[in-house]
């Protein structure tokens, strides 16, 4: 029960990984603020959890500075300290780069990179008074290496140049804020998942598995361990790191 009496904000809580993180933290005693831009998706996650573990649900767009500020003001006004932030909100686009509209490009950057920045900044405003806190950003292996186009033979979900660029920004921002938040007593780290199984096409799953030394995609729950390690006191001398959870894909 590493997170008993710990108060955690998870953004993108209505998504596959966000819901998995929420369940995993609750299993170890955490109390949660759950945030997502979709009230419908957020409600699905809430139904999976005991009601007494949810401090509040917050619907806001991480790319909108005013909405982010208002959400963190609600947390501050609750009188409960924010101990941990899991910066999980993110989006992708799947059209070919030849067809990329510039507004589409900037929208992905504003959510993935801009949203990470805005939430870190607001979290630090709350955490600095306690001289304690942990921020875990969610990156991607595609912020470290390029996607292999030979994997994507039977689906429209081609990885995009802007998704990779935005996740690379998240990884580098992690290092920046690890340095600048250290004097506040706050640690900042990143977890970069590889491919997580989510009922993709059979050919895609086979191709991805063949590209991975462990010969399979990740189960969503297999990302939780790294997130919880970096969030917990077990990693109290770890900051500025990017832990890649990919079954060894980026090793060759």
Q: What is the mean pLDDT of each run of 10 residues along the chain (252 residues)?
A: 94 97 97 97 96 96 98 95 97 89 96 98 94 95 93 76 96 98 97 94 93 96 98 97 98 93
Q: Whole-prediction pTM value?
A: 0.96
Q: What is the pLDDT of residue 75?
A: 97
Q: What is the pLDDT of residue 182?
A: 97
Read off the tokens for 27.
Answer: 């299993």
The CATH fold assigned to 7-246 is: Rossmann fold (3.40.50)
Look-up: residue for tokens 């003001």?
A: 73
Coil, strand or helix: which one is 207? helix
Domain limits, the chain: 7-246
Q: What is the pLDDT of residue 129?
A: 85
Q: What is the pLDDT of residue 86?
A: 98
Look-up: residue for tokens 């970096």?
A: 230
Q: Which of 187, 30, 71, 61 is nearest to 124 (CA)?
A: 187
């Amino acid at each position: 029960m590493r997170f008993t009496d710990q108060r955690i904000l998870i953004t993108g809580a209505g998504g596959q990984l966000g819901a998995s993180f929420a369940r995993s933290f609750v299993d170890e005693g955490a109390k949660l603020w759950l945030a997502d831009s979709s009230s419908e998706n957020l409600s699905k996650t809430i139904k999976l959890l005991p009601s007494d573990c949810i401090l509040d649900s917050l619907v806001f767009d991480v790319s909108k500075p005013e909405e982010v500020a208002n959400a963190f003001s609600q947390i501050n006004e609750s009188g409960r300290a924010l101990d941990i932030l899991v910066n999980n909100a993110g989006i992708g686009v799947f059209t070919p780069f030849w067809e990329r509209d510039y507004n589409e490009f900037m929208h992905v950057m504003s959510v993935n990179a801009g949203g990470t920045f805005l939430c870190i900044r607001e979290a630090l405003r709350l955490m600095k008074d306690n001289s304690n806190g942990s921020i875990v950003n969610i990156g991607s292996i595609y912020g470290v290496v390029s996607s292999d186009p030979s994997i994507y033979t039977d689906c429209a979900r081609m990885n995009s140049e802007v998704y990779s660029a935005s996740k690379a920004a998240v990884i580098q921002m992690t290092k920046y804020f690890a340095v600048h938040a250290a004097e506040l007593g706050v640690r900042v780290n990143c977890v970069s998942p590889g491919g997580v199984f989510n009922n993709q096409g059979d050919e895609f799953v086979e191709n991805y598995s063949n590209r991975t030394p462990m010969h399979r995609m990740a189960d969503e729950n297999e990302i939780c361990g790294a997130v919880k390690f970096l969030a917990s006191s077990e990693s109290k001398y770890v900051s500025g790191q990017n832990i890649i959870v990919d079954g060894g894909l980026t090793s060759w």
